[in-house]
Amino acid sequence: MAKPFRRNKIAQRKLDGASPGENPMHTNRQDPSRVIRPHEMAMLQDVLNQLLREKTISPADIRAQTLAARVIELFRSGVHDPEALKLMVG
């Protein structure tokens, strides 16, 4: 029986866009052309949903679009920690 393939930490960090020794949750790189992966999009959606609940803003409200744009802007600028995103947007 073959062993399942497991990525080592260096390979995973490269896939996540971080260099060895760099915290993959917060990088100081701004790469607006980088594709947001499905697991990242799910995290961003969770952050946005929490912000909307805390601020009692309807998802249909124009302010929700502004919050969403800010969350994505911060993420693309290197802030990848959900709590940091909420603090910086909040």
Q: What is the pLDDT of residues 32-66, one digit of tens each?
A: 678 899 999 999 999 999 999 999 999 999 999 99
- From the list 47, 83, 79, the residue with the least C-alpha distance to 64 is 47
pLDDT value at residue 27: 47
> Hunting for tokens 């600028």 — which residue is that?
77
Q: Calculate mean pLDDT across residues 63-74.
A: 96
Burial category of 78 from C-beta neighbours within 10 Å (exposed 0-12, middle 13-18, buried 19 and up): middle
pTM value is 0.65
Write the pLDDT tens digit of every residue in 9-39. Answer: 544 554 455 544 444 444 445 566 788 999 9
Q: Determine how many CB atoms are found less than 10 A away from the CB of residue 79.
A: 19
